[in-house]
Amino acid sequence: MTNRTIRIWTVIHKWTSLICTIFMLLLCLTGLPLIFHDEIEALTAEDTLPPMPADTPLKSLDEAVASALATYPGERPLFLSFDVDRPVVNVTTGPGARPPVSQMHISAIDLRTTRILADLNDDDGFMHVMLRLHVDLFAGLPGELFLGFMGFLLFLATLSGVVIYAPFMRKLSFGTVRAGRGRRLKWLDLHNMLGIVTLMWVVVVGLTGVINTLSVPLVAYWRANELAAMIAPYEGKPVPERFASVDAAVRTAMDAAPGMRPQFVAFPGVRFSSNHHYAVWLKGATPATNRILTPALIDAETGAFTDMRSMPWYMLALRLSQPLHFGDYGGLPMKILWAVLDLLTIVILGSGLYLWIARRRHAQGRVQDHAAAGSGLRAIAGEAAE
């Protein structure tokens, strides 16, 4: 490491950090409640199941969809998702196949009665605001891609910080904080130490966040390649005027993949399906496989099985990055750890901003001192000349 190399990495660290710091602070602050979104939603949930006998038979998925459509006349079904441990399905409807999110309606439906338990169209609640700020800054795809670029800058800032930290710590023990030598030096040591302690977490969460921002282009690429190959025989066929039974479509998909369970169903014409198929997205039944989804295509006109293929590596990376980003793999203990590391990252970002401001003030003070000293010398010289 030559002095020139260290200077280059220092410049990279300085500018990548300055550019992304404000946005990373926003993401860390909005990410805190999102880490505990399941727990918060459980506390504020309105869709509490009424008590009924355990052996109460379940209605069909078609009846649940009909209940949602009766609530929103003139709309069509878009998605149907399954609760993890309750006889509840969430049916999403809209005026067309791909309406704006603001025009979608999501109904939580009790499968025992097909009664709507709650309207999940909370587009101005606290958690919704936190999610939109965290995902796209209320700017849609441009906002997602912009935050992805900020995440990439965070990765460069972290990498460059490690590079310049190594020569800086040659003469100091790890974790040394020189608290008695001024506030700026103390915060510099804390900034460096916390940066190394949280290094792997920041890299993992930052890179998975970048992957998540690529969701829309990755799904579009999957549709143009993998999905197009699966539905080639149906090319040019329009969306059916009437759909076959969604309940039968789910059973057909499960028969084709024994041991797997449905995660959600995409109706014909939506982004996760084709114009002519139900896409029944299945997941594994074990902790090791329940994050891996496999789409089974069912002809929405005849109900016949069409094709089923494993997801390509890039879609698998997208799927696995989402729960890892929010610490959803290990239950509440892991979420608490994620929250602690998030708070430490806020301290790192804040201290980095403080160090930059303090250094600029120090440099400006030195310039003013030099200017004052120069003025004094000129005045003395003038008096001597007189």
Q: What angle do CA 295, 100, 64 make, to 5 degrees?
A: 55
| pTM (two decimals) | 0.83
From residue 101, alpha-carbon distances to 96, 134, 140, 236, 263 in Å are 11, 16, 10, 27, 21
Q: For the segment 43-97, what is each residue's pLDDT rounded down to a tens digit?
A: 776 667 888 888 889 999 999 999 999 999 999 999 999 988 889 999 999 998 8
Q: How far is CA 385 from the centre of its chain?
A: 72
Give CA–CA dist 364/160, Å, rounded: 26
Nearest to 34 by CA among 212, 214, 177: 212
| SS3 state at 239 | coil
The beta-carbon contacts of 118-124 under 8 Å, at least 24 apart in sequence, are: 118/45, 118/46, 118/47, 120/47, 120/90
Question: What is the pLDDT at residue 122?
Answer: 64
Give CA–CA dist 79/100, Å, rounded: 14
Question: What is the pLDDT at residue 154?
Answer: 94
Q: Strand order in 76-82's β-sheet?
A: 116-119, 105-110, 88-94, 76-82, 261-266, 277-283, 293-299, 305-308
Location of structure tokens 């410049």 = 11
How many CB atoms neighbour CB 340 within 10 A? 12
- The per-residue pLDDT of the chain, averaged, comes to 86
Give CA–CA dist 259/275, Å, rounded: 28
**pLDDT tier, 378 (very low <50, low <70, confident <90, very high otherwise):** very low
Average pLDDT, stretch 194-216? 92
Higher pLDDT, 266 or 189: 266
Model confidence at 370: pLDDT above 70 = no
Give CA–CA dist 234/218, Å, rounded: 23
